[in-house]
């Protein structure tokens, strides 16, 4: 098992820059998520770790060894493809044995090892089947099996659950996480699904347009997004922005929103111009005492809770509240915010302003 270090890695395809100078570290044994919308460079980054693409510049270290320019076959990592990429002309057992045979392992040892791994995955009964007739879940297990048999330094997975249907995904993601915990293998997992990332990951890197936007624990990223992009990409519905024009300075404890004072975490730096106050839907409370008002435009019933769409002087926002609360469309409600949960973003760059609350977790690529 291994630690993976990505240092200033950059990848260009002709004139298009897929990944811009990214750096982060994947600790030994971590379940690490590369998260971002399609085309953000997450898969390219993963493929560079695997050796399927060579970086234009920068270094990749696996266990302290620089492997950036080494061919995939010499890196001792396993890769799980979204489309599984099981060799269609081989049986399940042969597929799983294939990486071992390349290392020159004897037939007897190979069979023993394949059977061992098949037992872990619960697929020992299908080893003799051809891969064509397998269900999505079994294909996925075989692909995992092929990755596991070799006991590689790390597992790299490119949206491995992307080809499964929703119901089965849930089950498989639990299985995958359990497998990881059992083996303690360093795993890098690419996904565009923020829920999956938060559910499964020890750590998340959020990428956009080839840039690492933020890198950290799921809770930190959710609570203290480093950029407006992260704030909107993570969470469903996303973080609300209350936009205003004005000026904030280091040491400020509050801002004026539509002439109403709202407490915020103590700022470490200031900004001027377009500024946004970021607040998660579940952190908006309804309080008649509050002077900051919003008019209810719509409500969505979601079982245990409901989403309330409100129009305010600073834009439309969504709040999450218990579904037992009776809220009528058209009524005007006072909105209260908890100072400990708010973020301030600079409008133009979209960066979060460091404050007492988030300074420990803000990390930009």
Partner 1 sequence: MSFSVTEPSRRQKWIAGSLVVGYALITLIPLLWIIATGFKSSADSIAYPPKVVFQPTVEGYVNLFTTQTRMGEDLRAEPREDLPWYEQLVREKGNTIVGASRYSERFFNSVIIGFGSTFFAILLGTMAAYAFSRFRVPLKDDLLFFILSTRMMPPIAVAVPIFLMFRNLGLSDTHAGMILLYTAINLSLSVWLINGFIDEIPVEYEEAALIDGYTRFQAFYKVVLPQATTGIASTAIFCLIFAWNEYALAVLLTSGTAQTAPPFIPTIIGVGGQDWPAVAAGATIFLVPVMVFTILLRKHLLRGITFGAVRK
Binding stretches for partner 1 (CB under 8 A): 50-52, 71-73, 75, 77-79, 81, 83, 85, 87-89, 98-99, 102-103, 146, 150
The neighbour count for residue 319, using CB atoms within 10 Å, is: 25
Q: Which is nearer to partner 1, 107 or 340 (CB)?
A: 107
Residue 79 beta carbon to partner 1: minimum distance, rounded to whole angstroms:
5
Q: Which is nearer to partner 1, 70 or 217 (CB)?
A: 70
Distance CA(31)–CA(188), nearest Å, equals 6
Read off the DSSP letter of residue 193.
-
Residue 168 beta carbon to partner 1: minimum distance, rounded to whole angstroms:
21
Residue 31 beta carbon to partner 1: minimum distance, rounded to whole angstroms:
20
Q: Which is nearer to partner 1, 51 or 216 (CB)?
A: 51
Q: Which is nearer to partner 1, 42 or 75 (CB)?
A: 75
- The full length of the chain comes to 365
3-state secondary structure of 86: coil
Q: Which is nearer to partner 1, 35 or 50 (CB)?
A: 50
Q: Which is nearer to partner 1, 79 or 233 (CB)?
A: 79
Residue 99 beta carbon to partner 1: minimum distance, rounded to whole angstroms:
4
* 40 phi, psi to nearest 5 deg: -90, -10
Contact 198, 234 (CB under 8 A): yes
CA dihedral 271, 319, 263, 223 (to 10 degrees): -70
Residue 155 beta carbon to partner 1: minimum distance, rounded to whole angstroms:
11
Q: Please state whether 29 falls in left (phi above 0), alpha (psi between -120 and 50) or beta.
A: left
Residue with the two structure tokens 């079982």: 303
Q: Which is nearer to partner 1, 113 or 318 (CB)?
A: 113
Distance CA(264)–CA(221), nearest Å, equals 18
Residue 43 beta carbon to partner 1: minimum distance, rounded to whole angstroms:
12
Distance CA(114)–CA(92), nearest Å, equals 10
Read off the DSSP letter of residue 91.
B
Tell me whether strands 77-80 and 154-158 are parallel, antiparallel or unpaired: parallel
Residue 141 beta carbon to partner 1: minimum distance, rounded to whole angstroms:
16
């Amino acid at each position: 098992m291994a630690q993976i270090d990505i240092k200033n890695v950059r990848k260009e395809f002709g004139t298009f820059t897929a990944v811009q100078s990214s750096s982060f570290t994947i600790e030994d044994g971590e379940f690490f998520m590369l998260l971002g919308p399609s085309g953000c460079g997450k898969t390219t980054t993963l493929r560079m770790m695997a050796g399927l693409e060579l970086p234009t510049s920068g270094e990749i270290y696996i266990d302290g060894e620089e492997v950036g320019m080494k061919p995939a076959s010499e890196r001792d990592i396993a890769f799980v493809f979204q489309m599984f990429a099981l060799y269609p002309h081989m049986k399940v057992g042969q597929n799983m044995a294939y990486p071992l045979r390349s290392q020159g392992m004897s037939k007897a040892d190979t069979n023993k090892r394949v059977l061992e791994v098949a037992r872990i995955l619960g697929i020992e009964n299908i080893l003799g089947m051809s891969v064509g007739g397998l269900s999505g879940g079994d294909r996925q297990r075989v692909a995992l099996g092929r990755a596991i048999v070799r006991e590689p330094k790390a597992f790299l997975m490119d949206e491995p659950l992307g080809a499964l249907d929703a119901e089965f995904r849930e089950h498989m993601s639990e299985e995958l996480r359990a497998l990881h915990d059992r083996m303690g293998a360093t795993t890098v997992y690419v996904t565009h699904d923020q829920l999956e990332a938060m559910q499964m990951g020890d750590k998340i890197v959020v990428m956009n347009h080839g840039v690492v936007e933020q890198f950290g624990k799921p809770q930190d990223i959710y609570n203290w997004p480093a950029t407006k992009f992260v704030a909107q990409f993570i969470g469903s519905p996303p973080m609300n922005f209350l936009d205003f024009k004005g000026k904030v300075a280091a040491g400020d404890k509050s801002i004026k929103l539509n002439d109403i004072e709202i407490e915020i975490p103590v700022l470490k730096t200031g900004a001027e111009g377009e500024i946004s106050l970021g607040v998660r839907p579940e952190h908006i409370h309804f309080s008649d005492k509050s002077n900051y008002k919003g008019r209810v435009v719509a409500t969505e019933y979601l079982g245990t809770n409901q989403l309330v769409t409100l129009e305010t002087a600073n834009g439309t926002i969504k709040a999450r509240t218990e579904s037992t609360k009776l809220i009528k469309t058209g009524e005007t409600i006072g909105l209260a915010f908890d100072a400990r949960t708010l973020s301030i973003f600079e409008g133009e760059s979209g960066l979060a302003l460091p404050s007492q609350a988030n300074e420990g977790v803000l990390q930009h690529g």
